[in-house]
Amino acid sequence: MDGVADDGRSADHPPMRLKAAAAAFALLVITAGCSKDEPRTAPATPDTVTYATGFGAVGRDAFIWVARDKGYFAAAGIEVDIQKGAGNVPNLTMLKSNQAQFAAMDFAGAELLAGQGKFTDWRAVAAVHQQTLVSIMTTADTGITKPTDLTGKTVATAKGSVSEVLFPAYAKLAGVDPSTVKIQGTQTTALNGLMAQRQVDAISTFLLSRKALETASKKQVVVLPYREYLKNLYGNVIVTQAGLIGSDRDLVQRFTTAALKGLRYTLDHPQEAAEILNRAEPTAAIPAAVGEIEAMKPFVEPLGRLDEKRVADSLTELGVTGLTPSSVADLSFCPGPPTAGCS
């Protein structure tokens, strides 16, 4: 991997763990949420890592700010610099260049990129969304109520996004010839405005944006979820560098456990989580963040769980060959039965 040492870290960066001899014996004992009976020790001097959100600062990513604000990372001996991500390719690029050690991203999109050989030195360690939340959304006045109604229509989506990449597979399974649908690439922030002004017939984006589209359009919104046909795909996942798993597995475990504690707290306290996000990132409107968190709730259990068979099935469903579940995920950070969560 270009610019990355054998252990998966940038050759231009010093190791993240700072060692202080004077405090070498001052250890804080914490309990890992994925292995409740196994005590772990946090370093006396915190590990410093950078995390890239899935996209910007929105409700679906609030849990990482919550985990930091509530002290979960501090208790695990970790200091986290949270950077606003910009989607799969930018986030994977940050991991490859060691500008970030952890990131959130859409699992299906990352699997497709790995299948193309573009980014391979990463592994998913926990699920945020148990199903893909990519959907077609339109307003009720368009008359679009089922996938076949998209024939001859224009669908706007973020250019190069997983929504765009997955559309052909979704369309074929839904009985639609993808060549009969015009896909209009645009900026993510422009999607709701285009739909509200009826400049397009539908948009393809994340289900969690439904409330925002209802607000922008002041109309009833019709949702056609990709998951109705692409049944084995996960949504967002937490990923890390493959090399970091090899060189500091304990750090990855501590980070994953703390992040999932933040996710659990966020789901249980949406209003407080949105307020924490807003304090850190004032552009993140509290009502919109609450709406996204509430919309996430049906899709996160079992919390954090990645199942080997489902990962294998997702690769098959995406038409990715030459990869196995271990090529894209490390399931050891959340052991146990598939129906059990990690916290």
pLDDT tens sequence across 291-322: 899 989 999 999 999 999 999 999 999 889 99
The answer, yes or no, to whether residue 127 has pLDDT greater than 80, is yes
End-to-end CA distance of the chain: 34
Quick one: pLDDT at residue 43?
73
Q: Which residue has the higher pLDDT, 52 or 10?
A: 52
Number of C-beta neighbours around residue 278 at 10 A: 18
- Record the tokens describing residue 88, joined without a space: 């799969």
Domains of the chain, each with CATH number or no CATH:
27-130+234-333 (3.40.190.10), 134-228 (3.40.190.10)
pLDDT in tens, 166-212: 898 899 999 999 999 999 988 888 999 999 999 999 999 888 788 88
Half-sphere exposure of 142 (CA within 13 A, CB side): 30
Task: Give the three-class secondary structure for 257.
Answer: helix
Gap between the Cα atoms of 104 and 92, Å rounded: 9
What are phi and psi for residue 231, nearest 5 degrees? Answer: -85, -15
Residue appearing with tokens 């893909």: 132
Enumerate residues 6+ apart whose C-beta is below 8 A from 5. 11, 243
Residue appearing with tokens 């304990």: 250
Does this model's pTM top 0.85? My answer is no
Gap between the Cα atoms of 132 and 105, Å rounded: 11
**Cα dihedral sign, 49-129-331-4:** negative
Q: Where are the alpha helices (DSSP H) in the chain?
A: 62-69, 72-75, 88-96, 107-115, 162-173, 191-196, 210-217, 242-247, 249-268, 270-280, 286-296, 308-318, 325-328
pLDDT in tens, 261-297: 999 999 999 999 999 999 999 999 999 899 899 989 9
**Pairing between β-strand 182-186 and β-strand 154-158 as defined by DSSP bridges:** parallel
